[in-house]
Amino acid sequence: MTRLSVSIVFAALLANCSSNPATSLDAAPEPNPDAAATETISLVGALEITGLPVHDVWSYTDDATSKQYALLSAANAGLRVIDISVRSAPVEVGSLSGAELVATDVKTWRNYAYTIGEGQGVMGAIVDLANPAAPVVVGNFANAHNLFVSDGGYLFASAPGLRIYDLNGDPTQPSEVYSDSDCQGHDVSIVGQRLYDFAGDCGTRIFDIANPASPQLLGTIVDESLLHHSGWPSEDGKHLFLCDELASPTQDDIAVWDIADLASPQRVGSYSDANAFVHNLYVVGNYAYVSYYRAGFRVFDVSDPAQIRLVDEYDTDPTMSGPGFGGNFGVYPFSEDGVILASDEGNGLFLFAFDGQ
């Protein structure tokens, strides 16, 4: 596939690689040359941030100004708030230092950001973003490995175990309404009234959370060939895409499960790249948007879940290759205008468009 040459903000990232994985367990082949010519990624903007351990990325929109901001979690270097209202010229407007918080994951609700981080003694942090140029820590909660915040104002924290907090009363003082330590936990995703608990040693548990204080277990995917790291369902909720962050060259990176019958989920497809580690995946419409570490940002056509197909990719760090960490850590594909945010561990923030949307 011929790629559109795009001028980017910093010269070190002008090279855009195009080696792509396939459904075999061998080295990844090129994207399908017969694929629709419109299924392409284009770079919209970028902000170079080097020297920091950049991790996940999420979005925050200021209701007062309608401006959208990217939130970059930078581990022991804190949090960065980046104005992306001008897509081609993102600019950092606010930050919190590592002395104020440690952030490897971040999610938002109302005018607050909720972060968690790795390290002994680290607490989850609550950040008031009412003034994005001057974010301030206004509260704390028990730390976790990963978190998600539902539209209804409940925070779900994973590892160790699973904990659910109600943010509706006072967002600065989350009230724990549920916990269990049945599983080690790892990541959680919330879509509608479903909780997808990627629980590591327990497989993947799927709950009905119509009442978040009393989740009802609907079904469990047990597959010992996978590290149940993270995932996301198809738009119709009938399939689940599971990512194995540590898949070996002979294992699948992404496993596709038919969950139409939660009493009897069936594995129906997979995707593998022996030369890269997968990280996180989100589905919007017929496409999955995937942070694929050293392979970069990748987009898959998942309209046929049993035969997912790589349609394009963008290497956010051409200096890195092969299985391992580094490169594209996080992705956020939910902006109203379709702009996709991607974080690179060594290079900062990227903004992409994908014209298959």
pLDDT surpasses 90 at 15: no
**Joined tokens for residue 264:** 């009897």
Q: What is the mean pLDDT of the chain?
A: 91
For 181-199, the pLDDT digits (tens) are 999 999 999 999 999 999 9
- Token pair, residue 216, equals 């009802």
pLDDT tier, 24 (very low <50, low <70, confident <90, very high otherwise): very low
pLDDT of residue 46: 98
Per residue in 71-124, pLDDT tens? 999 999 999 999 999 999 999 999 999 999 999 999 999 999 999 998 889 999
Under 8 Å between Cβ of 218 and 262: yes
Going by C-beta distance under 8 Å and a sequence separation of 6 or more, which residues neighbour residue 331? 57, 280, 282, 289, 290, 291, 297, 340, 341, 342, 343
Cα gap 42→56, rounded to integer Å: 21
d(CA 18, CA 227): 27
CATH topology of domain 17-163+180-354: Methylamine Dehydrogenase; Chain H (2.130.10)
| Bridge partners of residue 82, in order along the sequence | 70, 92
Identify the helix (H) or strand (E) that includes residue 125. strand 124-128
Indicate the pLDDT class of residue 356, thresholds 50, 70 and 90: confident
Q: Taking the chain, what is the end-to-end CA distance rounded to the nearest angstrom?
A: 18
Give the tens place of pLDDT for each residue, 285-298.
999 999 999 999 99
Positive or negative, the CA dihedral 131, 135, 140, 141 is: positive
Predicted confidence band of residue 241 (pLDDT cuts 50, 70, 90):
very high
Amino acid identity of residue 129, one-letter, is L
Instruction: Show the tokens assigned to 77.
Output: 């270097």
Taking the C-alpha atoms of residue 250 and residue 254, their distance in angstroms, rounded to an integer, is: 12
> Which phi and psi (to 5°) does residue 13 adopt?
-110, 20
* Cα 141 from Cα 124, distance rounded (Å): 5
Can you give the pTM of this predicted structure? 0.90
CA torsion sign for 115, 235, 240, 237 is positive
Q: CA–CA separation, 228 vs 267, rounded Å?
A: 14
